[in-house]
């Protein structure tokens, strides 16, 4: 009796792509989806003024390519760098002071509930007072120099950091606190080992918001009584009817804001490595 061995069947056709190929395809699709709105906005900014608007309206809304050319010219002659350094220096100084004051104060208020209840009405009143509404007050009290601008940035940045720090301490899981106390952790170690790591994501949310506020508020403040800065560049260009340079300054502010936010997102991930990563 003989046994016949059959050859294994071979299926000819499209095979399943490797895992890395599928991952790259998903990343490409996500990148396309994420950038589609920006690409559409850029296309509209370029082609609508060039082919749709009449000449008079096009004067006030030039195509994006002309604005980018003006931005490149400002970068080449060094004028953009001077204004950028002036704005970054002021915003960084005010932001650093705000974080140095607001984080410890927020941890203190969040940890001691009686202090939080005592200061809550004052905090609510201050947080709802727009920083730009106080620009005349800062100018009258501190003059039109650097001190008034940096102080305005400090005021604008303090509140998001302070309130998010308080919220971060208050939203720590009570079960974690009870478990730590049952293990015999002292209050300083409990604060360092449990409260601070749990509050880090919320604190960094406030810091990111404050970083954005530091740029936006400063640009508005630089339009009054400044001799350098992105806000000064935008305002002076508008007054002198240099429309392309005005939009170039606006683009510089937008790019600076995106870079600052991206940097703080990376920093937040660095200090929150213990958190589980979200699924894409």
- Write out pLDDT tens, residues 58-83: 888 888 988 999 999 999 988 899 99
DSSP state of 132: G
Cα–Cα distance list, 276 to 233, 272, 279 (Å): 44, 9, 9
Of residues 186 and 87, which shows the higher confidence score? Answer: 87
3-state secondary structure of 275: coil
Instruction: State the burial class of residue 239 (Cβ atoms within 10 Å of its Cβ: 0-12, 13-18, 19+).
Output: exposed
CA angle 175, 180, 186 (to 5 degrees): 140
201-251 confidence digits (pLDDT tens)? 888 888 888 988 888 888 888 887 778 888 889 999 988 888 999 999 999
Domains of the chain, with CATH numbers? 62-270 (1.10.3720.10)
The H-assigned helical ranges of 171-225 are: 174-182, 187-190, 196-222
Q: What is the pLDDT of residue 1?
A: 46
Mean pLDDT of 3-24: 58
For residue 4, the model assigns a pLDDT of: 53
Predicted pLDDT of residue 169 = 81
User: Percentage of the chain with pLDDT > 90?
Assistant: 16
Mean residue pLDDT across the chain: 81
pTM, full prediction: 0.77
| 134-168 tens-digit pLDDT | 888 888 888 878 888 899 999 999 999 998 888 88
* Tens digit of each residue's pLDDT (9 = 90 or more) over 1-10: 455 555 555 5
Q: What average pLDDT does the segment 22-39 reach? A: 77
């Amino acid at each position: 009796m003989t046994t016949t061995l059959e050859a294994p069947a071979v299926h000819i056709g499209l095979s399943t792509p490797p895992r890395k190929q599928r991952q790259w395809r998903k990343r490409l699709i996500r990148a396309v989806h994420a950038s589609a709105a920006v690409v559409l906005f850029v296309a509209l900014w370029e082609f609508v003024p060039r082919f749709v608007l009449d000449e008079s309206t096009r004067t006030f809304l030039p195509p994006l390519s002309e604005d980018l050319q003006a931005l490149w010219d400002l970068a080449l002659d060094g004028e953009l760098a001077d204004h950028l350094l002036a704005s970054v220096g002021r915003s960084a100084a005010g932001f650093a002071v705000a974080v140095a004051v607001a984080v410890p104060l927020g941890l203190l208020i969040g940890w001691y509930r009686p202090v939080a209840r005592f200061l809550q009405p004052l905090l609510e009143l201050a947080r709802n007072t727009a920083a730009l509404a106080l620009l005349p007050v800062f100018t009258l009290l501190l003059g039109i120099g650097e001190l008034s601008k940096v102080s305005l940035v400090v005021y604008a940045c303090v509140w998001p950091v302070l309130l998010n720090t308080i919220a971060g301490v208050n939203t720590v899981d009570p079960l974690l606190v009870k478990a730590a106390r049952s293990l015999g952790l002292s209050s300083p170690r409990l604060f360092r080992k449990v409260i601070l790591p749990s509050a880090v994501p919320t604190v960094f949310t406030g810091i990111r918001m404050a970083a954005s506020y530091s740029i936006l508020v400063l640009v508005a403040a630089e339009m009054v009584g400044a001799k350098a800065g992105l806000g000064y560049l935008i305002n002076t260009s508008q007054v002198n009817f240099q429309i392309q340079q005005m939009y170039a300054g606006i683009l510089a502010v937008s790019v600076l804001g995106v870079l600052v936010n991206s940097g703080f997102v990376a920093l937040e991930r660095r200090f929150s490595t213990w958190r589980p990563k979200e699924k894409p």
